[in-house]
Structure 1
Amino acid sequence: MPLVSTSSIVDAAREARVGAAAFNVIHLETAEALVSAAERAETPLILQISENCIRYHGALLPLTRATLALAEASTARVSVHLDHLTDAALVREGVDAGVSSVMVDASALPYEENVAATAELTAWCHDRGVYVEAELGEVGGKDGAHAPGTRTDPDEALAFVRATGVDALAVAVGSSHAMRERTTVLDKELIAALRAKLPVPLVLHGSSGVPDEELRRAIAAGMTKINISTHLVSVFTGSIRETLGREPELVDSRKYVRPAREAVAREAARLLGILGAKAEIPGQYAPQAPACG
């Protein structure tokens, strides 16, 4: 199937009031597992490659091109997105390589500098038909620098979206990056307030620490794009530990990576079913129409 755009996946999910899954690629094996999961679940998927991942591999192009090739060859609707890019040169290189969306992360800068940097890169991306996500309220735990209690202010978020022209906004509503236990309770009232205030889709970072039903409640409240990385990385690593613990004599990495790849594919397919299901959860957090267009 030809590559699809991240915007088409996110916009369709927002319209249907379901989650648009965005799972992080760490290496080729996880990319293969995630594409397999999308095919099994028959659900669209956004494959994300972070700046940290690019730095690990030493360059953007090899893994990005391989991921694009896997997405294009898949029978599922798969897009490729670059996540948490702080380097403008990587934004431009990724767009030239063929990704359909990027997250411009200037959130470490003072507010006015964040706005200026994000607006400039957003305009450049829009000239090339590329969808842009950005971050305003700090997401707890990012690089150990953000307080978990941080929350996005709806009025400030609206001003930021208007000033930058971004297409989606990552918001701080109680989640935290790199969590290994799925115990987080999100601020659904704030999610609903942000959904009512903003004309763009909301993005939940740090979703690995959020239980299944809480994710569904967040979607019901108005969250759209759901980013998950650490949880699936833990599944991969846990499988390798289990295989090597059972067969410590193994030396051929394919013999312990293959079951790890399969374990990620199974769990990712299960999560796709959770996020892509209609979140018909009763309560006061039903999504509302945006206050402005």
Structure 2
Amino acid sequence: MTLVSTATLLQDAYARGTGVAALNVITLEQAEGTVLGAEQAGLPVILQVSENAAKFHLDDPGPLAAALAVLARTSQVDVSLHLDHVTRTTLLHRAAECGFSSVMFDAGPLPYEENVATTREAAWWGHEHGLLVEAELGYVGGKASQVESAHGDGVRTDPDQAREYVAETGVDALAVAVGSKHAMTTAEAELDLDLVARLREAVSVPLVLHGSSGVPQPTIAAAIRAGITKVNIGTITTIAFTRPIRQKLADLPALNDPRQYLEPARTSVSAVVAEMVATVGLAGTQRS
């Protein structure tokens, strides 16, 4: 098992009618915990670096991506690298050189025609440089640039428009708005599974669920059976990472060795990831 392309993982999961978990990571320790969790589950995983994470790392995803590539190459499971929620063309153009095999180009907040034109250009560039390109149609709530409610009018992804959008942009995967919301700290979101099924019938590319930390695990499994392939997870692992650090520093206020609080944080992430990766990777049935 080793570093593989996101296209390989998505195509395999799509063909088998199951899912693949995509975990956002910010630090090396969080990434190590994520890979350890995937190894515990014995299932592949996509490591994702968001545009915001790249900004945190001095606006350069290269060093973190290099470390993730080493983790992937030495992993006991297949791992791919994905650059997530990219809005800037300059960052898009760094994706391939930094070792990412896929990118999510986020023009979702733009008016439809502008979204199509911008995403088409991004997909063309990405394909010229060997990248799988994911895009978003609809509004997944929880981001300041988007509408607030994941249940309001004009928010959910329309299947007919999705069919048109994929054909016009040439994207390889489509993130859809079906009721989830970014940055939720509790699993209370309700998904429109009928809409997921209709979207699956409407388009011929893998569907992506964003904001999955806020979705109960049985509902995630049901969404995969309905047609979701890639499941993005972030907030739940950052909570798992932060909680032990906060507790350790509260218990030992004189502590100044970061290894003593980062190790339990890494272990905490691995436990959560193992459970989530299993939920995603073992869900679904063979599709015809």
What TM-score, normalized to structure 1?
0.93
Q: How does 1:8-19 map to 2 (within 5 A)?
A: 8-19=8-19
CA contact (8 A) 1:196 1:288 kept: no
CA contact (8 A) 1:192 1:288 kept: no
Q: How does 1:169-248 map to 2 (within 5 A)?
A: 169-248=174-253
Deviation string 1:12-61 (CA, Å, 9 cap, x unpaired) is 11111211100001111111111111222110100000000001111121
Unaligned runs of 5+ in 1: 281-286
Rounded to whole Å, the distance in 2 between the matches of 1:2 and 1:181 is 33
CA shift, 1:288, in A, is: 6.8
CA contact (8 A) 1:37 1:269 kept: yes
Identical-pair percentage: 48
Give the equivalent residue in structure 2 for 1:47: 47
CA shift, 1:250, in A, is: 1.6
Secondary structure of 2:166's partner? Answer: helix
Match 2:275 to one of 255, 270, 287: 270
- Matched letter for residue 197 of structure 1: A
CA shift, 1:128, in A, is: 2.2
- Matched letter for residue 228 of structure 2: M
Q: Does 1:69 align with 2:70?
A: yes
CA shift, 1:256, in A, is: 0.7
Give the equivalent residue in structure 1 for 2:82: 81
Rounded to whole Å, the distance in 2 between the matches of 1:10 and 1:89 is 26
Secondary structure of 1:148's partner? Answer: coil
Deviation string 1:183-228 (CA, Å, 9 cap, x unpaired) is 1110000000000111111000000100110100111111110000
Rounded to whole Å, the distance in 2 between the matches of 1:133 and 1:267 is 26
Secondary structure of 2:48's partner? Answer: strand
- Matched letter for residue 148 of structure 1: A
Pairs aligned (count): 283
Give the equivalent residue in structure 1 for 2:150: 148
Give the equivalent residue in structure 2 for 1:111: 112
CA contact (8 A) 2:13 2:20 kept: yes
Deviation string 1:122-157 (CA, Å, 9 cap, x unpaired) is 111112221000001111112263232120000111
**Runs of 4+ with deviation above 3 angstroms:** none
CA contact (8 A) 1:222 1:288 kept: no
CA contact (8 A) 2:6 2:82 kept: yes
CA contact (8 A) 1:40 1:269 kept: yes
CA contact (8 A) 1:174 1:185 kept: yes
CA shift, 1:249, in A, is: 2.7
CA shift, 1:277, in A, is: 1.1
- Matched letter for residue 276 of structure 1: G
- Matched letter for residue 258 of structure 1: E
Question: Greater relative contact order: 1 or 2 (C-alpha under 8 angstroms, separation 6 or more)?
Answer: 2
Unaligned runs of 5+ in 2: none
What do you get for the CA RMSD once the two structures are aligned?
A: 1.5
